[in-house]
Every structure is written in C-alpha cells, then in structure tokens.
Amino acid sequence: MLNIILMGPPGAGKGTQAVDIAEHFHIPHISTGDMFREAIANKTPLGLQAKAIIDQGGLVPDSLTIDLVKDRLSKDDCANGYLLDGFPRTIPQAEALAELGPKIGRAVNLAVNISVPDEILVDRIAQRRVCPKCGASYHLVNRKPAKDGICDRCGSELIQRKDDNAESFKVRLENYNKQTSPLLDYYKKAGFLHEFNGNQAVETIRQEVFSLLEANQ
C-alpha cells in the first residue's frame, strides 16, 4: 500500500516529484498548498482567511488545515493509496493524521523526505515558475519549459507564486526549521522515514524514490 507523506523544506522539489509519483502509481496527489491556493483563487471563506498568511510565508492554523485534510483523505479516491504533499507540517498535524489514518483504514506507511541545503533552496525559489492549473514546477535556468512561460504538461501560462519572494521565503524556511523538521524524528521513531538527497537531478531523485515505492506497492 502506498499511503505516503512527502516532506522537505520549501523548494526541495516535493511538488515536482509528487506530480510524477501520482501519475505513475495512480494515486491522488493531495497538496495542501495547492488546495489553499485554489481556495484563494475561488475566494472561499477558507481562502479569504488563508491569503495574507500564505503570501507572507506563514503557516495556516492547524485547525483549518487538519479539517481540510480530514475531508480530503476520507474521499473514495484515497482508498487505494494517496500522496500527501505539504502535510503534516507541524507535530499537532502529524498527531491528527496518526489518529485519523487508522480510523478510516488509511494509515500512513511511508514518509519520504527530500533534503536540500539552504543556499540552494534560495536560488530555486527565486527561479521557480509554476503552472497554476496542473501544479507542474519549472526553474528558469535548470528546468526550463520547452516554450517560454508555457507549461509543458497542459499548455497553461506559468506564474511566479506570490510567496516565492526573498522575504516570504525566509519566513517559510524559519517555520520549516522550527515547526516541520521535528517531524523527521517523529517519523524516524515510527519506523517509516526514508531520506533522499534532493540536491541531484530531478530524474535521479525520481528513480530513487520510485524504487522505494515499487518495493512497497
């Protein structure tokens, strides 16, 4: 069973790997960041609450985030595996997931962590462009789209995320170090943490992660 959580600092390449994993293993890609951005675009009550926090690089309150994931994970399409990208990000979120998962027969069994040194993350975030429609991610130098400004996968126009600026990034990295990195220990103790070096070619990381997932299918 592939009930996966994907972890790593902002800019580690989670989103890029997540899109490929979900496609190849036929499991839903559940990105809390994407869900919040969609809520913001649609101006839902959740989106209105989350917008300023996200733009500045902060974390959306646990209660809102946990409710969102509970609903999503309970949907039928998660019955045969799922890939959580960007959740959990705090210990209370991990605890909520540890309680919910077994209750609905969908306990996490793999935690994939992608790590990258801070100085590389700064560059990646500055050069990142994303597809607002399908979630694909590009780098203006290292991973250019075939056609400038256009998504290879779906043809939509690429954008720069509002929180991909130096100031917001600093806050995101601080939050990661303070609130999210303790989860590595948490999942190590639980016995299902798998670590990957994210400072390699996208394809290399993909191969390494795919072999882990193939062995656990």
Known catalytic residues are 14, 89, 128, 161, 172
Least separation in angstroms between CB 58 and ligand ADP: 6
**Which stretch in 57-65, 72-80, 112-120, 147-155 sits in contact with ligand ADP by CB under 6 A?**
57-65
Contact 27, 132 (CB under 8 A): no
26 binds Zn ion (CB under 5 A): no
136 binds Zn ion (CB under 5 A): yes
Torsion angle, alpha carbons of 48, 11, 65, 90, to 10 = -140
Select 22 or 131, whichever has its Cβ closest to Zn ion.
131
18 binds Zn ion (CB under 5 A): no
Q: Helices 118-126 and 166-175 meet at what angle, rounded to 10?
A: 140
Q: What is the 3-state secondary structure (H, E, C) of 38-80?
A: HHHHCCCHHHHHHHHHHHCCCCCCHHHHHHHHHHHHCCHHHCC
Residue 59 CB neighbours (<10 A):
19
Q: Which residue's entry shows tokens 């985030």?
A: 65
Among 6, 29, 30, 36, binds ligand ADP (CB under 6 A): 36
**For ligand ADP, which residue has the nearest CB?**
33
Q: Which residue's entry shows tokens 């193939």?
A: 214
18 binds ligand ADP (CB under 6 A): no
Residue 198 has what DSSP assignment? Answer: -
Which residues make Cβ contacts (< 8 Å) with residue 36, sequence separation at least 6? 46, 47, 50, 54, 60, 68
41 binds Zn ion (CB under 5 A): no
**Which stretch in 59-67, 97-105, 142-150, 196-204 sits in contact with ligand ADP by CB under 6 A?**
59-67
89 binds ligand ADP (CB under 6 A): yes
First to last CA, the chain: 5
Least separation in angstroms between CB 216 and ligand ADP: 23
147 binds Zn ion (CB under 5 A): no
Chain centroid offset of residue 118 CA? 17
By a kind-dependent CB cut-off of 5 to 8 A, residue 131 interacts, out of Zn ion, ligand ADP, none, with Zn ion
Residue count, binding to ligand ADP (CB under 6 A)? 18
By a kind-dependent CB cut-off of 5 to 8 A, residue 1 interacts, out of ligand ADP, Zn ion, none, with none
Query: Exposed, middle or buried: residue 149 (CB in 10 Å: 0-12, 13-18, 19+)?
Result: exposed
Q: Which of residues 127-186 bind ligand ADP (CB under 6 A)?
A: 163, 172
Interface contacts to Zn ion, rule CB under 5 A? 131, 133-134, 136, 151, 153-154, 156
